[in-house]
Chains A and B, each alone.
Chain A
């Protein structure tokens, strides 16, 4: 039977389903009675009384058991107990209703009782299995539908985060700050102004290219990061130092765009820029089997209770989850004596050769 925990369903719906099943069970019982009347020499009336008594007893026993101890999804154990218990109870009830004395019957024709019990077990098991399979099918269909809905939602979320990503790509503050610096440098130090503009062009070019391609390589991402850090280093002078430590054989790896860059920007903006004597930002990558780990470490102010995170971290977290599920993760650690370490871990999907 399609036994779901009664408590999980709300009243009206539960009783409607219950009534429907009851009707179906009675019908099946009637069919069994007719069948037995044809194949045995017991009259139809007695057969009808017995099969209804046994069938309904099994049905009610199963529901009572399920009510006492709700089964986990797809468990058969309720029927395992309900069929024999219901069969015995049904034989007693049936004999009482049909006016047959069980003691007489047991004394004179014990084989009749054995055959009835056997028939009850056989038909009870078949019908119970039918209901069980029906319930399991309904459940798996529901699960399938839920899975579909989940997948759709995930796709939608991914599109949404990607859209936000595009919007967040070039931060207006950075754009204006860089242009301010270039404008100021043009008179005092035209050569530096030119250098800064060149880095900025690299930054924009790599950024634009990335929006067209769905996946970029680690090398592409590092090019944008280097351009960004060069510009910031010109602004902040000796207050900003940086290292990029990525083995050459990893640079061709494909990876989703803008996973690392926002972390580097956070490290500079929230960690180093507000710190009086600045510090270092370090980007490193390593591979273990088919998993890539990327670390962005700064020696800045460290995590604060009200840490400014912007939309960047959430966006990265959501994309990693949507793309890799449990296998993608972002961990943000406070570092002693000061600074933040952000560690990205995700599976290597494909290698792209230039």
Chain B
């Protein structure tokens, strides 16, 4: 049997050396054939060295450990290295993926090593890495929260706009206009997508092309055709409510 070979990828120097030393203690036969400082380097190393194991830090600049893992050939087993994060640990447990906690704890590392060794001796069927990664990615992805800030442009200026300052959104052909008390901004997110991320108690859809902050409605009037018109507190425009959304204003 050949000596097992591995690479280590971590963007923090002290942690790289630490893992290397700990592995040398727990698994003396394991040969570290390369060390990478970021995802791209790790991938190049794996292609070049064809190691049996790749110890990949999750959070690396440029390309994360998860992204690297998605491109690693089946002959190389990935072991994720992660700092304390209860979600990550839970995700790895669920996906039955090997992982090492940072900083490497000798007792725990020994357990992982024992498992990896066992796998080395048996010809394991290649795992469906893509499905596993998807599972992990999902667990690690931040929950889709309520939209609080929007990246918006006005002329040359690009700002992060607080949703709390928005009076209404109006869609045009190619983009969406965002109106604050004093300015008009442009964003690329379509209304349909925005609607899902806004608090329905704070913003109401009033038209195929408009979403308005309820608290900013000053007065509801009707025109001669019986259509609802909204006057706003912080802007002078009058917005019209299409029939499909008029039920919001029925009782008024």
Binding site for B on A (CB under 8 A): 8, 172-173, 176-177, 179-181, 183-185, 187-189, 192, 235-237, 239, 273-276, 278, 303-305, 307-309, 313-314, 317, 331-334
Contact = CB atoms under 8 A, between A and B. Distances in A.
A192 B148 CA distance: 40
Given A184-B18, A236-B12, A303-B158, A334 B151 contact: yes
Nearest to B16: A184
Given A180-B102, A317-B164, A331 B159 contact: yes
Q: 8 smallest A-B Cβ distances: which pairs? A: A184-B18, A334-B158, A332-B160, A176-B84, A180-B103, A184-B14, A183-B103, A276-B62
Given A276-B38, A276-B40, A314-B149, 15 more contacts: A176-B84, A179-B103, A180-B15, A180-B103, A184-B17, A187-B21, A237-B13, A239-B61, A275-B62, A278-B61, A303-B151, A314-B162, A332-B159, A332-B160, A334-B157
10 contacts: A173-B83, A180-B102, A181-B12, A181-B14, A192-B14, A235-B14, A237-B13, A307-B149, A307-B151, A333-B158
A205 to B, nearest CB: 23
Interface of B: 11-15, 17-18, 21, 38, 40, 59, 61-62, 83-85, 102-103, 142, 148-149, 151, 157-160, 162, 164, 188-189, 219
A183 B18 contact: yes
Contacts of B84: 172-173, 176
B158 A188 contact: no
A179 to B, nearest CB: 7
Nearest to A333: B159
A314 B163 CA distance: 10
A236 B59 CA distance: 13
Contacts of A309: 148-149, 160
A188 B160 contact: no
B28 to A, nearest CB: 17
A332 B149 contact: yes
Contact of B61 (A273, A307, A331): A273
Contacts of B151: 303-305, 307, 334
Contacts of B157: 333-334
A278 B12 CA distance: 13
Contacts of A172: 84
A308 to B, nearest CB: 7
B89 to A, nearest CB: 12
Contact of A173 (B40, B85, B160): B85
Contacts of A184: 14-15, 17-18, 103
B222 to A, nearest CB: 10
A325 to B, nearest CB: 14
Contacts of B17: 184, 188
A267 to B, nearest CB: 13
A95 B215 CA distance: 52
Contacts of B142: 308
A69 to B, nearest CB: 13
A341 to B, nearest CB: 10
A275 B151 CA distance: 20
Q: Which of A184, A185, A275, A307 has the most CB atoms of chain B within a 10 A radius of its CB?
A: A184
A55 to B, nearest CB: 32
A314 B158 contact: no
A188 B18 contact: yes
Given A184-B15, A187-B18, A276-B62, A317 B188 contact: no
Nearest to B18: A184
A8 B219 CA distance: 8
B15 A181 contact: yes
A173 B85 CA distance: 7
A189 B18 CA distance: 11
Contacts of B219: 8
Contacts of A314: 148-149, 162
B107 to A, nearest CB: 14
B63 to A, nearest CB: 9
Given A307-B160, A314-B148, A274 B14 contact: no
A188 B18 CA distance: 8
Contacts of A192: 14
Contact of A305 (B12, B21, B85, B189): B189
Contacts of A187: 18, 21
B181 to A, nearest CB: 11
A1 B102 CA distance: 75
A313 B11 CA distance: 27
Contact of B83 (A180, A185, A189, A308): A180
B224 to A, nearest CB: 16
A188 B14 contact: yes
Contacts of B13: 237
Contacts of A331: 159
A308 B162 CA distance: 13
Contact of B159 (A8, A305, A334): A334
Q: Which of A176, A276, A278 has the most CB atoms of chain B within a 10 A radius of its CB?
A: A276
